[in-house]
Structure 1
Amino acid sequence: MLNIGLILPDVLGTYGDDGNALVLRQRARMRGIDAEIHRVLLGEPIPSTLDVYTLGGGEDTAQILAAEHFIKDGGLTRAANAGRPILAICAGLQVLGTSFRASGRMVDGLGLIDATTAGLAKRAIGEVVSRPTGTVPGLTDTLTGFENHLGATILGPDATPLARVTRGNGNTDSTAATAAGASADQVGTEGAVQGSVIATYMHGPALARNPQLADLLLARAMDTTVEKLGPLDIPAVDRLRSERLA
């Protein structure tokens, strides 16, 4: 049985990122693997022994509530320390960093990602396309998603970018990077990878638009390889990718 954690969908579920858990479950079931989604709501304890965890996006108040819950509960930190794969989207990325700006102030994050998030002068919104940096072994396909954020995320030395943008904004822009005293190579980065955490600003849902990434997460969750999982032939997914990349 594959146990998929959908973490705080009541506060981090604004942009349809719950779909990432659905994609993982369906791609597992299509291979004959029993899989269930475990919804963990605000105020509930987060199990540290699930096989894979997904977090979505949300607004400022939701981010603050999520950060406070994660820090107090400790379950997600224990899961990360045990090497359980975690996928964090947008606000989820920011909350798992060391600090982020919300409601006009800097807020402590969970610290699973060496990243700080301040603010962009102009909202980054629209299609984003990026090329993997190699920080996730086996991830070679071009990544596609929809970004919608005001965060300017600067990665520290312990985190590495998931990808580099070929279209769209990504983690930060040159103005925000300069204001933060960050190096120029921060501009054009997308997402972050650290330990078992993969984080990105891509909505879509990200795993529906990037099946290779979905299968890499499944393989990690099941302690196997993508090759052993075997391929899935889903023409609708191929058409979706072609449309979004066109």
Structure 2
Amino acid sequence: MTTLNIGLVLPDVLGTYGDDGNALVLRQRARMRGISAEIERITLDDAVPSNLDIYCLGGGEDTAQILATEHLTKHNGLQTAAAAGRPIFAVCAGLQVLGDSFRAAGRIVDGLGLLDATTVSLQKRAIGEVETTPTRAGFTSELTERLTGFENHMGATLLGPDAEPLGRVVRGEGNTDIWAASENSDDERQQFAEGAVQGSLIATYMHGPALARNPQLADLLLAKAMGMALKELAPLDIDVIDRLRAERLA
């Protein structure tokens, strides 16, 4: 690989909460290791290429979410990339778009079906700091460090049998509340779940940006994009990141 190509998917509609920063973090952490890396912005004016090394999707409001879903359904490059095992990282609205369906603008909208997940509505908004322990399921089996972020959503995401939680909630709300979980037959599995992992897809409700607040997760995505194990990636010692994480986890 001469250059790591990072796809920033629809930042014109899925860029409300600063999640564009996830692509910037990936590029910078690659470059700090001497790896050439570039970001390709994919907007509503563009078809979605299927041959990039890694893809990032962010958050957005209902109308933006519907526009993104329509565009990604029409241009199926992301689906082709997922089938080829290319890493995809999605946040909040991006998580919901990748699922089977979600509720937006008062109706149920069909998602891309890349995640075995459906999203309904919470009784009240989940907002605030969230902290989880990684489940270390499949694609994320190498994760050992706690995950932190800021959640701000009205979606209750219920995972089907093909998807696993990214983490288990220590603080905050995560995917569901008890009311939403009670509508699913697998209550215990749904409660305290945050995010989703399926195949090469990692999704979460954590803003922050998530990869700035969780450098091990960023490095896992980089390693997978380059066909490496996380332990094979040269470590980065950045004191300020360690201090900021300690503050968030305190």
Residue-by-residue CA offset, 1:131-165 (whole Å, 9 max, x unaligned): 01111121010000000000000000010111100
Which residues in structure 2 correspond to 1:10-25 (within 5 Å)?
A: 10-25=12-27
Q: 1-side partners of 2:217 and 2:56: how far apart?
A: 13
Instruction: Number of aligned residue pairs: give it.
Output: 246
Equivalence for 2:243:
239
Instruction: Provide, for residues 93-123 of structure 1, a one-character-per-residue CA deviation record: whole Å limited to 9, x for no partner.
Output: 0000000000000000000000000000100
Match of 2:10 in 1: 8
Q: Aligned runs of 1:139-154 on 2, under 5 Å?
A: 139-154=143-158
Q: How much identity, in percent, do the aligned residues show?
A: 71
Q: Which amino acid aligns with 2:218?
A: A
Partner of 1:207: 211
- Give the one of 40, 53, 60 matched to 2:62: 60
The worse-fitting range, judged by mean Cα deviation, of 220-229 and 236-245 is: 220-229
- 1:176, distance to aligned residue in structure 2 (A): 1.2
Alignment partner for residue 136 of structure 2, among 123, 134, 137? 134
Identify if the C-alpha distance between structure 1 residues 118 and 182 changes in structure 2 by more than 3 Å, giving closer, same or farther.
Answer: farther
Shift of 1:193: 0.4
CA root-mean-square deviation:
0.9
Tell me, yes or no, if the aligned pair for 1:129 and 1:144 is still in contact at 8 Å: yes
Deviation at 1:228? Answer: 2.3
- For the residues of structure 2 that align with 1:43 and 1:195, how far apart are their CA atoms? 28
Q: Which residue of 1 aligns with 2:230?
A: 226
Q: Is the 8 A contact 1:145 1:209 kept in 2?
A: yes
Any stretches of 5+ residues in structure 2 without a counterpart?
A: none
Query: Following the alignment from structure 2 to structure 1, what is the Cα–Cα distance between the partners of residues 234 and 22?
Result: 20
1:117 to 104, 116, 119: 119
**Are residue 29 (structure 1) and residue 19 (structure 2) matched?**
no
Gaps of 5+ in 1: none
Once residues 53 and 183 of structure 2 are traced to their aligned partners in structure 1, the CA distance between those partners, rounded to angstroms, is 39
- Matches for 1:97-116 after TM superposition, within 5 Å: 97-116=99-118
Contact 1:43 1:69 in 2 (8 A): no
The structural deviation recorded for 1:237 is 0.7
Contact preservation (8 Å) 2:135, 2:141: no
Shift of 1:229: 1.8
